Structures are given as structure tokens and as C-alpha cells.
């Protein structure tokens, strides 16, 4: 099944006995935002399904995309402008903004529409393919795009991609590629998924649209972990419906490979139709700078006296060079591989603000009463010196008095923040790990670590070899985690948090009493009666933990056809080896 990859906002709809009862956005991938009342305003979305076309399931979950047709978007923008409102940037942002509004009567004015692309909760077993399931969904009244097809073989998938890319400007919606899905639902189940993606589908993006513009300056910006990243400031230009003013240049080595200098006309595109990137030089800067050159520099690159702020390369035809001092605090940067980093973790404003914002954000403690601007205020006033200091604000009467007097704060705001701080002190272990801003550890890796290690102390003491036992963690991430937990900054942040009253809530490692309760398994070779994903699911359901490599802590190695070096290592370490049949029997009997 091949379909357009719409550039809209995904939503999940729940129907109970054919009646629409709830709708949510994707959110962080686990918890979405309830937008039920706003979705009810979408004209082509049925609130009650047509039961005359076949028996309806008791619970039906439908997923799809909320979109605005281009022609309707332009007409909507003209109407907004005529009424004195600002024009919206592009259809996707307009749809996303509409769904987050608090007033459904305002949302109803937006020309939104919904297009179905899957139904993950359905009548199990009644349909053998997505094609059959889609036919039922259409009969019940759910809207679909007319551009989906069923093809056979990879060449046909590629041909569909070429056809859609060639005709993308004739399609009334913004699309940035195509999606190909295996039609057979039973085979999808067998293929399963990885931690990040389904194995039975893939997205194939279109070639990015490219335009040229002038490179005005290159700024060394300081990130959450202190990394100095070259950032290009360009003359504003529209790329695929979005006005681009600046874009990352990754690192000094990447800038050198592009050969760009300030004043060049450069090619800019949006990678995947999303992330702006400089793709090379269109025309090198020649001669002397135009008279109005310095006037074109953005205000954000100027200080109060009108001069250029530190860390900015702005001279005509100048090459970018790593600054000798951090643009934010003046500390000499240190080189780490291809990157340069400011080591002044708790004295450099962008790092403290970035880390504290990350800690309080949606993937961390979810403290939505405070954001980057307020955190920057707190740092400037000396109320926090590190991310963990957030949990000390409500424990200091003097700090409370200062907070109340700050601009845009007051009694009500401070009370609301303090109440939320108290509520959020108890935090899920996996979410806690993601909040620490350990390089390469996000929400998914945090969950993997939380399920593998029973408590924080066992994780802190883990070696790189032990971290590699966690299925889904490779050498670079293992090294990053081990380094962070032995670093001074890691120890200081943990001390800040726990002295501020933070408490960890550990997940249940298993329901208890399973055949593999507390045991660690490794799989190798080709399974015959089930897929590796199915075997892993069965092991975890029985209380086991699945690791990716054999070590002294491995209890069982499950061997399929054509086993690799893991079998030899298991023999050397005296690890018990089970064939696939033995594994199935052990699950049944526990022996």
C-alpha cells in the first residue's frame, strides 16, 4: 500500500459503538494532547459512523492527518489579512495552531479536513490486509485521500514515488514524500518493530526544494551541553512555504567542506522539507562589501551600542573560525572530536538555561509553569546556578520574595510554580534519566535503561560493557552514559536534585512469578517458529530482560539457526544455552 506522506498534523480518533468520543495529537509519542472538541469542528470528519454498511466494532481507533488544502489556505489567509489579522506561514503550521486553540468556535473557521491512513484498533482477525480494512472504513464514512494505491514489488514503489514527486505541485496538499506499507496484516505482525520504527513500512522523502540567498553572518551559538555550533544567518528567503532566516552549519569541519564565506550567495534547502540547511555556494563574494552590507545584519547579532556580539563572523568574505572564547561566558573552548565545547557548565548562561529548560520540559519533569524566558530571568537574578536549583526555589523564603517582585511574575504565578514543583518531585525513573540531558539519552533510551537497571545506583556503577548488555544501546551511547555518571557535573546535578527533594519512582521490572523473572537473555541466530521480535516480547512478558551481548551476567543464550560468535562466548563463560524449542519449553515449565 503506497500513500502520500502528507505534511500535516497527525491525530488519533476513538469511536465507541460508532460514535466519535475522543481525539488526541501524537504528543511526545506516549502521551498526546486531547483535542476532541476541536476535531469535532472538521467538516469531513464523521461524528457518527454509518452502521448500515456492516457491523461496527465496539472500539475503533483511527489515525490520520489533519490538513488544509493549499487553495483554501491562501483564501483563508486573504480573509485574515482583510480583517486586520496576520497571515499564517504555511498550511501545516496553521493546522497545528488551530488544533491547539482553546475555542472550538474559532477552530471551526479554519478550512481543516481529515484523511485516514490507518486503524490500529479494529476488528481483530476479520481482515487479512490493509486494503480490506480500508474498504470497511470507507463504507462506514471515514475520509481517505484519493492518491493511495496498491502496488507489487520495490520497483513499483519507486515508480509511485517518482510519479508523486513529479506531480507534487498539482496535488492540492503539501506532501513531502510517500509511505510504503506491507499490505498483509499477518506478515506485519510477524515483522514487528524496533524501538523507533515499524519494520513493515518505510517513508521515502522527496528531493528537497532549493533556493539561493545571501549569507550575512556566521554565529557560534552555545547549546545545552556547551557545544559551540556554527549558525548561518541568511537574507530571509521562502523555502517550501517557510521563511528561512538562519540554519545550523553543524561544526567547523562542515563549514570548511562547504567552502562558504560571509557575503557568498548560498543554496538553501529544507532537509526532508523540514530542517533548513546550507547546501553549498551559488556565487562567491566578489569585490568590496556593498555600502548597506552591515545594515542587513539581524538585530540579534548586535549589542546595545550597535556593535557585533562575540562569536560572530561578519566581515565581508571572511571564513568562519572557532572563537578563542565562549561567546556567552568567555571561557576557552575545548575540542571533542569534530566539535568544540565550553567547559563552564554552571557559569555559562546558555548551558544553565538550556539544561534547566530540558529538565523542566515535556520529556522531563513536565513543569509547564516555567519556560526558557523565566529560567533566563532566574539565572540573571542569581536565583539558580544549575538545573537542579529549580527544586530549591520553593524551599527558600528569601528567594520567594525576590521571585514575586520579578517582571511578569507576582504572587499567583509564584504560587502556581511552587505547587507544581511539589507535585513533580516524584518522577518516573525513565523520565528522570531523559531529563538529565546526558548526551545521546532521550526518552526512549531513558526507558530502556529504567527497565534494565533496578535502581539508579546500579546504573551509576555500570561499566560500558554492562551498558552494552542493554538491548538497543551501542558503544557510543554506552561510553556517553558511563562518562556522564562519573563526571563532576553529573555528580553535582544529582546532588542538587536529591537535596531538593526529588524522589524516583521505579518501574515494576516484571509482574513477578514469570518463568524468566529476573533472568537476562541474549538471542542469536535465525528463529524459525517465531521472529526475534516475538521471542523478545515473550521473554519480557515472562519477566526476563533481553540484552544484546553475552556477559557474565547472562543467564541464557537462546540459539537459532546459524548462530554467531555469541555461542562461542557463552560456552567460554559457562552460560546456559537453549535451542528455540528449549526456550519455548522453558517458558511453559520454567525448567
User: Cell 514575586 identifies what position?
Assistant: 404
Closest CA relative to residue 349, chosen from 496, 468, 236, 222: 222
Q: 408 exposed, middle or buried (CB, 10 Å; 0-12, 13-18, 19+)? A: exposed
Q: What is the chain's Cα-based Rg?
A: 27
**C-alpha cell, 95:** 493546522
For this structure, is 553 an active site residue? no
C-alpha 446/C-alpha 425 separation (Å) is 18
**C-alpha cell, 554:** 547472562
User: Cell 514515488 identifies what position?
Assistant: 161
Angle value at C-alpha 551, between 548 and 554, nearest 5 degrees: 80
Angle value at C-alpha 195, between 272 and 527, nearest 5 degrees: 120
Q: 5, 261, 519, 566: which is the annotated catalytic residue?
A: 5
Closest CA relative to residue 553, chosen from 411, 425, 454: 454
**C-alpha cell, 392:** 530549591
Distance, CA of 353 to chain centre: 20
C-alpha 510/C-alpha 230 separation (Å) is 46
First to last CA, the chain: 44
Closest CA relative to residue 174, chosen from 107, 113, 233: 113
C-alpha 113/C-alpha 43 separation (Å) is 7
C-alpha 174/C-alpha 151 separation (Å) is 23
Closest CA relative to residue 343, chosen from 253, 438, 227: 227
Backbone angles phi, psi at 240, to 5 degrees: 60, 40
Distance, CA of 367 to chain centre: 18
C-alpha 248/C-alpha 277 separation (Å) is 7
C-alpha 386/C-alpha 43 separation (Å) is 49
Strands (E), 208-351: 210-222, 227-239, 242-248, 265-271, 275-283, 312-313, 334-336, 339-341
Give yes or no for a contact between 376 and 358, defined as CB atoms under 8 angstroms apart. Answer: no
Give yes or no for a contact between 228 and 326, defined as CB atoms under 8 angstroms apart. Answer: yes
Q: Which residues are catalytic?
A: 5
Amino acid at each position: 500500500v503506497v500513500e502520500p506522506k502528507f505534511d500535516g498534523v497527525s491525530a488519533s480518533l476513538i469511536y465507541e459503538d460508532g460514535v466519535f468520543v475522543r481525539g488526541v495529537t501524537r504528543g511526545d509519542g506516549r502521551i498526546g494532547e486531547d483535542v476532541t472538541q476541536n476535531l469535532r469542528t472538521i467538516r469531513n470528519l464523521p461524528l457518527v459512523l454509518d452502521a448500515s454498511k456492516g457491523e461496527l466494532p465496539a472500539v475503533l481507533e483511527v489515525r490520520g492527518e489533519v490538513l488544509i488544502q493549499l487553495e483554501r489556505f491562501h483564501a483563508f489567509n486573504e480573509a485574515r489579512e482583510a480583517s486586520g489579522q496576520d497571515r499564517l506561514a504555511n498550511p501545516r503550521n496553521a493546522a497545528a495552531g488551530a488544533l491547539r486553540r482553546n475555542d472550538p468556535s474559532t477552530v471551526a473557521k479554519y478550512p481543516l479536513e481529515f484523511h485516514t491512513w490507518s486503524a490500529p484498533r479494529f476488528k481483530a482477525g476479520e481482515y487479512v490486509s490493509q486494503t480490506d480494512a480500508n474498504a470497511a472504513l470507507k463504507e462506514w464514512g471515514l475520509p481517505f485521500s484519493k492518491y493511495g494505491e496498491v502496488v507489487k514489488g520495490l520497483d513499483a514503489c519507486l515508480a509511485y514515488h517518482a510519479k508523486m514527486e513529479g506531480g507534487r505541485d498539482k496535488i492540492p496538499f503539501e506532501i513531502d514524500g510517500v509511505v510504503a506499507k506491507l499490505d498483509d496484516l499477518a506478515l506485519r505482525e510477524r515483522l514487528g518493530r524496533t524501538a523507533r520504527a515499524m519494520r513493515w513500512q518505510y517513508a521515502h522523502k522527496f528531493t528537497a526544494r532549493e533556493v539561493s540567498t545571501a549569507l550575512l553572518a556566521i554565529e557560534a551559538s552555545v547549546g545545552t551541553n556547551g557545544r559551540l555550533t556554527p549558525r548561518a544567518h541568511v537574507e530571509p528567503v521562502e523555502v517550501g512555504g517557510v521563511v528561512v532566516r538562519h540554519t545550523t552549519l553543524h561544526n567547523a569541519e562542515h563549514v570548511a567542506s562547504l567552502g562558504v564565506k560571509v557575503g557568498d550567495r548560498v543554496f538553501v534547502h529544507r532537509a526532508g522539507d523540514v530542517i533548513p540547511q546550507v547546501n553549498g555556494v551559488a556565487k562567491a563574494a566578489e569585490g568590496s562589501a556593498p555600502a548597506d552590507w552591515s545594515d542587513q545584519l539581524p538585530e540579534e547579532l548586535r549589542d546595545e551600542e550597535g556593535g557585533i556580539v562575540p562569536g560572530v563572523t561578519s566581515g565581508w568574505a571572511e571564513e568562519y573560525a572557532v572563537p578563542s572564547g565562549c561567546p556567552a561566558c568567555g571561557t576557552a573552548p575545548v575540542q571533542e572530536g569534530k566539535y568544540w565545547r565550553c567547559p563552564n557548565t554552571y557559569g555559562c548562561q546558555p548551558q544553565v538555561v538550556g539544561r534547566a529548560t530540558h529538565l523542566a520540559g515535556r520529556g522531563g519533569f513536565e513543569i509547564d509553569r516555567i519556560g526558557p524566558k523565566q529560567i533566563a530571568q532566574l539565572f540573571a537574578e542569581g536565583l539558580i546556578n544549575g538545573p537542579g536549583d529549580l527544586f530549591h526555589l520553593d524551599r527558600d523564603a528569601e528567594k520567594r520574595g525576590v521571585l514575586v517582585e520579578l517582571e511578569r511574575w507576582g504572587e499567583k504565578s509564584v504560587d502556581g510554580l511552587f505547587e507544581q514543583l511539589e507535585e513533580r518531585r516524584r518522577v518516573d525513573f525513565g523520565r528522570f534519566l531523559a531529563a538529565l540531558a546526558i548526551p545521546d539519552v532521550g526518552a526512549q533510551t531513558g526507558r530502556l535503561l529504567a527497565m534494565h537497571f533496578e535502581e539508579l545506583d546500579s546504573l551509576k556503577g555500570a561499566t560500558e560493557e554492562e551498558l552494552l548488555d542493554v538491548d538497543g544501546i551501542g558503544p557510543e551511547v554506552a561510553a556517553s552514559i558511563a562518562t556522564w555518571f562519573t563526571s563532576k557535573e553529573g555528580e553535582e546535578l544529582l546532588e542538587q536534585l536529591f537535596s531538593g527533594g526529588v524522589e524516583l519512582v521505579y518501574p515494576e521490572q516484571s509482574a513477578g512469578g514469570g518463568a524468566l523473572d529476573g533472568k537476562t537473555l541474549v538471542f542469536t541466530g535465525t528463529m524459525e517458529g517465531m521472529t526475534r521480535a516475538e521471542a523478545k516480547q515473550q521473554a519480557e512478558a515472562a519477566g526476563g530482560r533481553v540484552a544484546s551481548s553475552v556477559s557474565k551476567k547472562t543467564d541464557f543464550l537462546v540459539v537459532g539457526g546459524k548462530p554467531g560468535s555469541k555461542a562461542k562466548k557463552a560456552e567460554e563463560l559457562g552460560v546456559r544455552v537453549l535451542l528455540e524449542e528449549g526456550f519455548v519449553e522453558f517458558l511453559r515449565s520454567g525448567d
